[in-house]
């Protein structure tokens, strides 16, 4: 099959699919041949012999021609100058989607290191949204295993063989492709344990020839018995595979000599009823081995496999395994999902070869396309698609499994909480993206960090993993504690100054016991939190000092909670004037801070407002405040919305806002480009959560390009 001619392939397909579009097949063939021109395989053969071989393997499975074309093109995007756009232009979006799927799987394969086999199996399944992607991948792996001896390095051969056993064999089994499964098993076994395989094969050979009970003998005896009962059965027998015997030896911890059932027989009868009749006859003639009978006809396996299995003490007085099934069941067992392709043998209907004429598979693809019925799909086929998880990679190729909906920030925290905390930017598949970007299967995520960066409180609104959430909260608590300490220190220093005393750490330390505290930081924190007033401290240190009583509301030994002012903000001293920052429009529910402004009282800002940075060197101006639990009045919020310049986009945006109970009070066009425009939009909302709801809704709107809180 070293010929680079399309004819043998076309002939092979036409044998089962007369309506094959030979022109289309030939174009794909030529495209791939030209793309791979000049490349060679490890064997020295032209590279294109590989895609051809993969196509032939699939043609043997009688798959549809889209799958064959995909097989021919499966390496062009990864290994040649050709792009997925070129494939799409030449062969249409469907083929491009399939080729893209196989390409993505190939990239993952290169990064995998067998450590997380289960996760990789899940990933491969999740990414093979169209089952045909998986079929091409299995055929690809089969051919690579057939030619594995050409790979020079033993460690590389072993890595590929292990990956085959841990990932592709279980997947082949899952979709019922027994043929792929057995071949992959045997070839991987030959790479990993060549001596063991050799000795099992030799032993098998001896066992079957030594004794008189050669396989053909038993076949004809079984055939004769069934014939006498008037049944037209096809009986065939084989030695079990070396790999399956080795597995059994491992599992039961027995020696080769002790294994008695090394032969398997298959009886194929025309009908369902005759399967059960055959079973009855065999059980009458031969003793059955208890516990080995399985009826996969009444209860098919999850991959649709149907057959009756039993084990009898056969004509040779040894255990033999017998499988009983109809020709149709046999088809399914050999070809798995591919057995469900039905070709119209007659008719010139072009659409018949569109790749969608097969029914069962068509249903499967449709079900997968439709997220709403994904659950239903799982129920019916039990082919787990891991809809709840998303699989991403670090640039080094380590796999990170996250719940679906997880964002880039979740990814950063999943690597390490320090990475999460210092994360300033994200690259997904090489492109800069927003931190809140929801990740997709197979995304490669690079986290950009800065040593002095800090997590943003707003992240809490979009992260989904418990790890990111708890790390964020812990960080915010610590950060808040730091702020309390800073503020308390400032307040205490001020109080010392006003009393005409010099603050000294030693002096302050001496009063810790009085308040039952461990360290100076604890004292500062309690002052900052307004649990102890600075005057309390002075009073303890200088009992004769005459202090004014006006700020004694926190009084008492260890202080008490501050009185709640009438405003919906906690942490204010009574009688202080309060107004909201016009720069950042703080909302109930958000973290806020008060800045003492001369002659104005306190201005309330969001903690992330750009305008408060200039006060960072003046901690005595900072007042720690927070919203009361419940507020009833609406508050004004400002967000910047960028829309695609399309008919109806503005209407769609305003509808989305009002549908969520937001009241637009002002819209102002702030930037305009040929395809986008940006609005500063004032919305009345009840609190931060409400605004967040609206922003989430807007982000899911197809016209909306971006939505951001206005910060200054
Ligand atoms: Mn390949």
Model pLDDT, residue 310: 92
Q: What is the DSSP string of 16-75?
A: T-TT--HHHHHHHHHHHHHHTTT-B-TTSSBTTHHHHHHHHHHHHTT--HHHHHHHHHTT
Q: How far is the CA of 4 from the centre of ligand 1 (A)?
A: 16
> Do β-strands 234-239 and 263-268 pair in parallel, antiparallel, or remain unpaired?
antiparallel
Secondary structure (3-state) at 512:
helix
Measured distance CA(606)–CA(592) in Å, rounded:
4
Q: How far is the CA of 310 from the centre of ligand 1 (A)?
A: 39
Other Cβ atoms within 10 Å of 554 Cβ, number:
22
Tell me the CB-side half-sphere exposure of residue 216, using CA atoms within 13 A: 1
Q: Yes or no: say if 243 and 196 are a contact pair by the CB < 8 Å rule.
A: no
The three-state (H, E, C) secondary structure of 323-340, written as one string: EEECHHHHHHHHHHHHHH
Q: Yes or no: say if 267 and 320 are a contact pair by the CB < 8 Å rule.
A: no
CA-closest candidate to residue 560, choices 529, 539, 519: 529
Measured distance CA(77)–CA(476) in Å, rounded:
46
Secondary structure (3-state) at 291:
coil
Q: How many helices (H) and strands (E) does the chain have?
A: 28, 20
Secondary structure (3-state) at 200:
helix
Measured distance CA(667)–CA(702) in Å, rounded:
20
Measured distance CA(326)–CA(432) in Å, rounded:
57
Model pLDDT, residue 52: 95
Q: How far is the CA of 136 from the centre of ligand 1 (A)?
A: 9
Q: Yes or no: say if 517 and 528 are a contact pair by the CB < 8 Å rule.
A: no
Q: Yes or no: say if 54 and 71 are a contact pair by the CB < 8 Å rule.
A: yes
Q: What are the backbone angles phi and psi of residue 21, rounded to the nearest 5°?
A: -85, 95
Q: Yes or no: say if 175 and 337 are a contact pair by the CB < 8 Å rule.
A: yes
Classify burial at 88, counting beta carbons within 10 Å of its beta carbon; exposed 0-12, middle 13-18, buried 19 or more. middle
Q: How are the residues of the chain apportioned to helix, strand and coil, as percentages rounded to the nearest 5? A: 50, 15, 35
Catalytic residues: 78-79
Considering only the C-alpha atoms of the chain, give the largest distance between any 2 of them, rounded to a whole number of Å.
120
Model pLDDT, residue 515: 85
Distance of CA 539 to the CA centre of its chain: 61
> Among all chains, which residue has been given the structure tokens 């429009």?
585
> Do β-strands 592-597 and 704-709 pair in parallel, antiparallel, or remain unpaired?
unpaired
Model pLDDT, residue 632: 61
Q: How far is the CA of 342 from the centre of ligand 1 (A)?
A: 27
The three-state (H, E, C) secondary structure of 381-450, written as one string: HCCCCCCCEEEEECCCCCEEEEECCCEHHHHHHHHCHHHHHCEEEEEECCEEECCCCECCCCCEEEEEEC
CA-closest candidate to residue 4, choices 39, 29, 38, 41: 29
Q: Yes or no: say if 4 and 48 are a contact pair by the CB < 8 Å rule.
A: yes
Q: How far is the CA of 75 from the centre of ligand 1 (A)?
A: 5
Segments of the chain with pLDDT less than 50: 1-2, 112, 114, 212, 343-386, 549-567, 575
pTM surpassing 0.75? no
> Among all chains, which residue has been given the structure tokens 């080795």?
246
Measured distance CA(28)–CA(130) in Å, rounded:
20
Measured distance CA(667)–CA(657) in Å, rounded:
12
Q: How far is the CA of 74 from the centre of ligand 1 (A)?
A: 6
Measured distance CA(127)–CA(122) in Å, rounded:
8
Q: Which two tokens stand for residue 161?
A: 């063989």
Measured distance CA(604)–CA(635) in Å, rounded:
13
Q: Which two tokens stand for residue 245?
A: 């015997």
CA-closest candidate to residue 144, choices 188, 108, 103: 188
Q: How far is the CA of 706 from the centre of ligand 1 (A)?
A: 40
Classify burial at 255, counting beta carbons within 10 Å of its beta carbon; exposed 0-12, middle 13-18, buried 19 or more. exposed
Q: Which two tokens stand for residue 270?
A: 């025309």
């Amino acid at each position: 099959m070293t010929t680079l001619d399309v004819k043998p392939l076309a002939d092979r397909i036409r044998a089962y699919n007369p309506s094959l579009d030979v022109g289309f097949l030939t174009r794909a063939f030529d495209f791939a041949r030209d793309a791979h021109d000049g490349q060679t395989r490890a064997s020295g053969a032209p590279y294109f012999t590989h895609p051809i071989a993969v196509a032939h393997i699939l043609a043997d499975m009688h798959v549809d021609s889209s799958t064959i074309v995909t097989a021919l093109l499966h390496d062009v995007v990864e290994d040649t100058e050709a792009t997925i756009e070129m494939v799409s232009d030449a062969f249409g979006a469907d083929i491009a989607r399939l080729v893209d799927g196989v390409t993505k799987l190939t990239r993952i394969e290169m990064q995998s290191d067998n450590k997380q086999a289960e996760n990789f199996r899940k990933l491969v399944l999740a990414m093979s949204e169209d089952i045909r992607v998986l079929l091409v991948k299995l055929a690809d792996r089969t051919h690579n295993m057939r030619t594995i001896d050409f790979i020079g390095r033993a460690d590389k051969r072993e890595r590929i063989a292990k990956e085959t056993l841990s990932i592709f064999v279980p997947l082949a089994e899952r979709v019922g492709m027994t043929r792929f499964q057995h071949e992959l098993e045997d070839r991987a076994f030959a790479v990993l344990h060549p001596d063991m395989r050799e000795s099992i094969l030799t032993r098998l050979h001896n066992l079957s020839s030594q004794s008189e009970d050669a396989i053909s003998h038993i076949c004809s005896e079984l055939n004769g018995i069934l014939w006498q009962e008037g049944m037209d059965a096809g009986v065939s027998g084989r030695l079990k595979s070396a790999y399956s015997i080795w597995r059994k030896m491992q599992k039961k911890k027995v020696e080769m000599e002790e294994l008695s059932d090394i032969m398997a027989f298959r009886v194929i009868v025309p009908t369902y009823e005759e399967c059960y009749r055959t079973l009855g006859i065999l059980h009458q003639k031969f003793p059955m081995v208890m516990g080995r009978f399985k009826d996969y006809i009444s209860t098919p396996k999850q991959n649709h496999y149907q057959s009756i299995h039993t084990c009898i003490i056969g004509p040779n007085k040894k255990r033999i395994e017998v499988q009983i099934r109809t020709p149709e069941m046999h088809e399914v067992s050999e070809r798995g999902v591919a057995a469900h392709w039905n070709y119209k043998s007659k008719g010139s209907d072009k659409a018949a070869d569109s790749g969608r004429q097969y029914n069962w598979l068509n249903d499967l693809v449709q079900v997968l396309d439709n997220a709403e019925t994904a659950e239903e799909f799982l129920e019916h086929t039990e082919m787990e698609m891991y809809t709840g998880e998303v699989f991403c990679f670090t640039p080094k190729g380590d796999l990170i499994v996250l719940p679906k909906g997880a964002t880039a920030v979740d990814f950063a925290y999943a690597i390490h909480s320090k990475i999460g905390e210092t994360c300033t930017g994200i690259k997904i598949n090489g492109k800069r993206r927003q931190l809140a970007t929801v990740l997709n299967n197979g995304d490669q995520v690079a986290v950009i960090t800065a040593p002095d960066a800090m997590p943003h409180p707003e992240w809490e609104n979009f992260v989904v993993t418990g790890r990111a959430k708890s790390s964020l909260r812990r960080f915010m608590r610590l950060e808040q504690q730091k702020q309390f300490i800073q503020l308390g220190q400032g307040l205490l220093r001020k109080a010392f100054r006003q009393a005409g005393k010099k603050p000294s750490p030693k002096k302050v330390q001496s009063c810790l016991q009085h308040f039952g505290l461990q360290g100076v930081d604890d004292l500062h924190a309690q002052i900052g939190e307004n649990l102890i007033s600075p005057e309390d401290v002075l009073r303890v240190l200088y009992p004769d000092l005459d202090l004014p009583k006006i700020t004694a509301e926190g009084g008492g030994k260890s202080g008490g909670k501050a009185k709640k002012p009438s405003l919906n903000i906690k942490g204010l001293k009574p009688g202080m004037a309060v107004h909201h920052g016009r720069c950042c429009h703080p909302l109930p529910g958000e973290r806020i801070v008060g800045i003492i402004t001369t002659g104005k009282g306190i201005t309330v800002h969001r903690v992330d407002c750009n305008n408060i940075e200039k006060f960072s060197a003046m901690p005595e101006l900072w007042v720690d405040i927070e919203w009361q639990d419940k507020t009833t009045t609406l508050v004004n919020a400002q967000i910047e919305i960028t829309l695609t310049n399309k008919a109806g986009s503005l209407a769609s945006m305003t509808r989305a806002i009002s549908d969520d109970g937001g009241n637009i009070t002002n819209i102002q066009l702030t930037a305009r480009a040929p395809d986008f425009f940006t609005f500063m939009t004032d919305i009345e909302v009840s609190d931060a959560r409400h605004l967040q709801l609206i922003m989430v809704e807007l982000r899911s709107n197809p016209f909306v390009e971006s939505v951001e809180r206005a910060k200054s």
